[in-house]
Structure formats: structure tokens, C-alpha cells
Amino acid sequence: MFKSLTAFASDQLAALEARRQRRRLASTDRHDSIHVRRGGRALVSFCCNDYLNLSAHGAVKAAAAVAIERFGAGAGASRLVTGDHPLLGELERALATFKDTEDAVVFGSGYLANLGIIPAVMGSGDLILVDELSHACILGGARLSGAQELRFHHNDMAHLETLLDQHRSSVRHALIVTDGVFSMDGDLAALPQIIELAQKFDAWVMTDDAHGLGTIGGGVGCSNAFTAPLQPELQMGTLSKALGSYGGYLCASQAVCELVRNRARTFVYSTGLPPASAAAALAALEIVRSDVALCAKPTAQAARFCEALGLPAPQSPIVPLVLGDEQSALHASAALEDAGFLVTAIRPPTVPAGTARLRFTFTAAHTDAEIDRLAGEVAKLHLSVAAE
């Protein structure tokens, strides 16, 4: 029987509603990087990814404003046509220097970067091994590549080794991909062990450092968060979180970056990053480079919160409180909002079924007093934390 698309969409929305998975936009006015206004209420946000509060930093805003004045609001075309503003090349060189790689490529966003990079280097006859808790855009990029995709249990090196052992010899190239800092759990990938396995099985490694740049490893990210600096072949990340701007990047060898500039469809067929976004990211990167203490602050604030609640010490500024069902997470989030705190409930499909949670992200600008008050309010909820 004929069903209109609108009727189909309404049915789908009703089904999401029944599962408590329907989501709605909530217009939010962020007038600085942690104080927001939503529904007429002033709230302290513990759910922005603006870890160093650089989206509201004077030097970062000024750099963007000057670039808009001088170069306009948009790039005008894709990079390979006329959208390659000199600021983008300058940003690429600064990122490569900071990450100690030969070269870097800037994309329109982190999501676009992952959708472009993975299919540019992997294809049919290849194997991609992805940590099961990796970000959706890694899985999207893997799917677009046409390579065989297998997921290993979260940070489970024995499982990764078993999969490599079983499948490596029957494929051409193998790539292991993982979040550096897991976005919904805040833990770090076991990168030294992953690189060791990659060497043993002749595989390449790609890290997604969206939450690591500016926050761990002295601000350099997951490659510098262990005893010795590590060099995965592909190090992607975003300009949209700790750098407070917008855009994505890849740091890699010069040949790999050139191949990506030629083959990544989200680079070739999409308009270049606006010069103002690049200018803001450049100014922010300069702050990250020169202020290691600032980069350590968000995780220190997360640690203060965890200590107050008797939670394990955090490895990053992200702290999950896994409550299990959607309803508990929504209730807890609403109760914290009543107390003046914005902490979103994270629900499936963003996280696995049965692991709905509160996810707290801490920034350099949260005061000790704000954190102590938040911890007090969370304690008052008497939440029972589910095993993940």
C-alpha cells in the first residue's frame, strides 16, 4: 500500500519516541565557552568540547574577525580550484610541525576528514580493523572504502591479535583504526600495543585524535600520551574541539597527504575551509603550543570531580557515568539542569544499548567551586552506576 514519505517519517519518529531515543534540538546561546542560556535558564555547561575555552578567546576571535574583513566569509570554491587560501597552507604547515609529521591536510570538518581519508587509502581486497567504540564517522569512512571491515572488542589487544592472525594473510593491506581518546568513555586507546601488533602483522595505524589534541600528551594528543612519542601513519583530528574553531585535519607523510589531496572525495569535491576558520585555528594552535599548563587543566578538573565522587581517575577531560537505561539518564540530566548544570544524557545509538549515560566534559575555565557544587548535586541523585 502506498505510504507517503511524510507518513513514513512520522511512524519512524513515533518508534524512536517509544524507545525514548527521539532527540530534539535545544536552541542554546553560548555567550562564553561554559556559561550558556537555554530555555530562558542560565546554566553552567559540562557538555561542550571546547576544552580550552578557545572558541571565546580574544586572540582567536580577533584572528577570525580580521580574516573575514580581509578575505570574506567563505572560500568560494574547492581547494583544487580557487579555494586554496594561503591561510590553509599555513595552517597545514603549523599542524605538521606541531605533530612532527612531514605534512598535513585540512578538511571541512572532522567527519568529512574520516569519510575522505579512509577510502583514499583503502579499498576492496583490503581489511580495516576498528575498535568497536570508535566514532561513527570512522565506521562511515570504512564502509565507503569497500574494504572488509571487522570490529575488535574495545581496547582488547588479544581480540585484535586473533583477528589479525585469522585474516591478515588473505588481504592486501590492513589498517587498524581507533579513537585516541574515546569520545563517549574518555579512556585512551592502547596505542603502544596497537602499533606493536601493526608491526608484527604488517598493518598501518590510524588514530582519530578529536578529543586528544590540546588535552593530552602535553596538548600534542594521543601520539605523545605514552612513554615515548608514537608515529601512527595516519593521525586525524578536528579543529572544532579544543581549538575552538571548525574543520578537520590529517597529519601524515608528504606522499600520503598528496594522495589524499588527489583522492579523498570529501576534499576534492567540497568547498575549502573558510579562511576565518583557518585563522582562528592557527591562533588557537599557537596558544596550545605555548601553554602546556592550560592543556593539562581540563583533565585536572575532571580528576577533581572524580575524586569527590570516588570515581576512578580520568585519563582525559571526559567522564562518563553509565546509568544503563535511557530513562535514568534523562531523569538525571533533568535533575542537574534544575540545579543549574547542563549535562546531556547520551543514549543509543550514540552508545551501545543498555549503556545510556551522563557524559561530563571538563574545561580549563570551570572553577573548583563549580566542580565541587556539580559533584555535590550528582551525589544527591544517589545514582546507581551500571557496569558497562
Ligand X SMILES: *Cc1c(COP(=O)(O)O)cnc(C)c1O
Residues that bind ligand X (CB under 6 A): 109-111, 135, 137, 179, 183, 208, 210-211, 238, 240, 248
- Give me the least distance between CB of 137 and ligand X, in Å please: 5
* Spatial CA neighbour of 96 closest among 257, 217, 272: 257
The alpha carbon of residue 345 and the mean position of all alpha carbons in its chain are separated, in whole angstroms, by 17
3 state DSSP class of 244: coil
- Give me the least distance between CB of 328 and ligand X, in Å please: 24
- The one catalytic residue in 85, 154, 211, 366 is 211
- Asked whether the bond before 229 is cis by omega within 30 degrees of 0, the reply is no
3 state DSSP class of 36: strand
Measured from the CB atom, is 137 or 257 closer to ligand X?
Answer: 137
Measured from the CB atom, is 50 or 208 closer to ligand X?
Answer: 208
- The one catalytic residue in 109, 134, 183, 270 is 183
- Give me the least distance between CB of 111 and ligand X, in Å please: 4
Measured from the CB atom, is 208 or 370 closer to ligand X?
Answer: 208
The alpha carbon of residue 171 and the mean position of all alpha carbons in its chain are separated, in whole angstroms, by 29
- Give me the least distance between CB of 238 and ligand X, in Å please: 4
Active site annotation includes 33: no
Measured from the CB atom, is 85 or 211 closer to ligand X?
Answer: 211
Report how far residue 53's alpha carbon sits from residue 295's, in angstroms, rounded to the nearest whole number.
11
Under a CB-based contact definition with an 8 Å cutoff, are residues 92 and 140 in contact?
no
Under a CB-based contact definition with an 8 Å cutoff, are residues 49 and 360 in contact?
no
Report how far residue 269's alpha carbon sits from residue 79's, in angstroms, rounded to the nearest whole number.
9
- The one catalytic residue in 85, 154, 241, 366 is 241
- Give me the least distance between CB of 17 and ligand X, in Å please: 26
**Residue 106 bridge partners (DSSP):** 249
Active site annotation includes 366: no
Cell 609529521 locates to: 101
Measured from the CB atom, is 127 or 213 closer to ligand X?
Answer: 213
* Spatial CA neighbour of 127 closest among 163, 161, 178, 154: 163
Measured from the CB atom, is 201 or 267 closer to ligand X?
Answer: 267
- Give me the least distance between CB of 181 and ligand X, in Å please: 8
Q: What amino acid is encoded at 21 in this protein? A: Q
Report how far residue 33's alpha carbon sits from residue 46's, in angstroms, rounded to the nearest whole number.
10
- Give me the least distance between CB of 205 and ligand X, in Å please: 15
Active site annotation includes 297: no
Contacts with 2 (C-beta within 8 Å, 6 or more apart), sequence order: none
* Spatial CA neighbour of 331 closest among 356, 305, 306: 356
Cell numbers at residue 167, please?
585474516
DSSP state of 221: -
State which residue has the least CB distance to ligand X: 110
Measured from the CB atom, is 211 or 359 closer to ligand X?
Answer: 211
Under a CB-based contact definition with an 8 Å cutoff, are residues 238 and 248 in contact?
yes
Question: Which residues are known to be catalytic?
Answer: 183, 211, 241
